[in-house]
Chains A and B, each alone.
Chain A
Amino acid sequence: MILKLMRKEWKEIIKTGKFYALLFSFLFFAISSPAIAKFTPEIIKSLINSQQTQGLIIQIPPPTWKDAFLQFLKNLNQIIFIVLVIVFIGSIAEEKNKGTAIMVLTKGIDRSKWILSKFIFQLLVSFALLSISYILCLYYTFLLFSNFPIKNSLFSTLLYVIYLFFFLSLTLFSSSLGNNTIQSLGIFFGIFILLNIFSIFPNLNSYNPLYLSTLENMWITSYVELKEALKPIISTILLSFMFIFLGILHFKNQEL
């Protein structure tokens, strides 16, 4: 049943063009991140020369593959994150709001399966696009920097996968609680702001899912102790399952 419901999700994102928006975003940042890292110092240098600032000495360290991947991760954590949330957050709330969910659920389709099909689908699409963009970014990094940073970048991207799992579960939870996209976005960013506030407390920060993005960068720039990474990984996975469970529970008992 979940597979059949997922087939409809696939047709939906193709026909509404959402898939192409996601694909474009992922591909664009996979290609542009190494290019920006490579050419930014040269652009700055040429700007300085053209502005006749001969007395000014600006030292820019030569860019490396690390800059390319840091740029890629920054885009994943900011722009891609927002694009994914905007594309996926209405999937449950809007179906409730418009009444299209009722047409399916009154035919005896299990509510848990219906909501899970959406979540698994979003996860698979995001993971597939992330994998493609990761490989592409790796390839361009190799082309521009003649370096193949597979180990560090892979660990770092794996941390992003866990982070992706977390914010998609938060999307499911928010969309289950909200009655429309705006409400769902409010709930999502409300929780997100709370997590940001928690990151002020050093004791709580190492369990905060947002700490994963710091670790992603650290894995690129230096090295991360597995012990240090385990705390946020485990707490993020637990929190994700909690949001999935609560989202499904709420939706199952919700009056439509």
Chain B
Amino acid sequence: MNVIETYNLSKYFKEKKAVDNLNLQVEEGIVFGYLGPNGAGKTTTIRLLLNLVRPTRGSAIVLGEDITKSKNYLRKIGFLPDVPNFYNYFTPREYLEFFADILNVDKKRIDEVLEIVDLKREKRRIGTFSRGMKQRLGIAQALIHNPSLLILDEPTSALDPQGRKEILDLILSLKGEKTIFFSTHILADVERVCDRVGILKEGKLLLNDTIDNLKKKYSRRTLYIEVDNPQKLFIKLKEFPWVESLSLSNKNGILVKIKDMSLPQREIPRIIFQEDLFLFKFEFLEPSLEDIFLEVVS
């Protein structure tokens, strides 16, 4: 079952197409990484899903409800904005008591979520908190009503390594329990916690797949070959149309980017044999998410 489904969802601001014909599906129970460079339209998508802005065109079904017709689904969503702001004069407990009160949540839940985010013993006012503590409190307020869908907008972008680790550990601890829609431009975070990834550029969704599939899809396109005379092989390979790009690497190595793997797998060993070269290494390179991302967005 899909928790989020969008149909040609679009949001235009004057001339700028912030989100353009977005067709996105997010399955229940997964951690979905919503990737894109700054200004790609990630936050606007989230604002659309949360009914903070109206779509210019298209529609979306969130938790089974049409976002243009109902707002009841919002009760089942926990949201953490990119820069969360709080009532700074409250302590964390007072802040969560306010939400528990308006959402009719049992007061016991306050202790539970404060325990999860490790702020149970914190008695100071929120205004004195560090950025990392505020982010953890943001997750606590998002969890207070035990939502089935968590939407986190760049939760780690402004944190130091320690703070980032804490937030990612928190997300990992919630994995499987809730569906998490997680926007970011930090690829290492996505690689660490997400099951599936969508890449957005200039408001358009360029791909939506599992990380494993993406790696498989892009892995068999880069080869690393080490021979005794790499220059000779370099000149020879340049003649073939299936070679996309070539570069010399290290002392004896060549990086070969190819369009289709079927021919080179037969052709390259033949060329090495014909040119009378000694083969030291022949390896399919596993791309990082960063390589995939850069390739897709460019």
Q: Which chain A residues have a beta carbon within 8 Å of chain B's beta carbons?
A: 1, 4-5, 7-8, 11-12, 15-16, 98-100, 102-110, 255-256
Contact = CB atoms under 8 A, between A and B. Distances in A.
Contacts of B54: 255
A106 B73 CA distance: 10
Interface of B: 47, 50-54, 71-75, 77, 79, 81, 83-87, 89-90, 94, 98-99, 101-103, 141, 145
Given A11-B94, A255-B54, 20 more contacts: A1-B102, A7-B101, A8-B87, A11-B98, A16-B89, A99-B81, A102-B81, A103-B79, A103-B85, A103-B86, A104-B99, A105-B52, A106-B50, A106-B51, A107-B74, A107-B79, A107-B102, A108-B71, A255-B53, A256-B52
A110 to B, nearest CB: 8
B84 A99 contact: yes
Contacts of A256: 47, 52-53
Nearest to A8: B98
A245 to B, nearest CB: 21
Q: Which 10 A-B pairs have the closest CB atoms?
A: A108-B74, A15-B89, A108-B75, A99-B85, A255-B53, A106-B79, A256-B52, A98-B85, A106-B50, A4-B102
- Residues of B contacting A: mostly: loop
Contacts of A102: 52, 79, 81
Contacts of A105: 52
Contacts of B141: 103
A1 B86 CA distance: 20
A106 B52 contact: yes
Nearest to A1: B102
Contacts of A15: 89-90
Contacts of A107: 74-75, 77, 79, 99, 102-103, 145
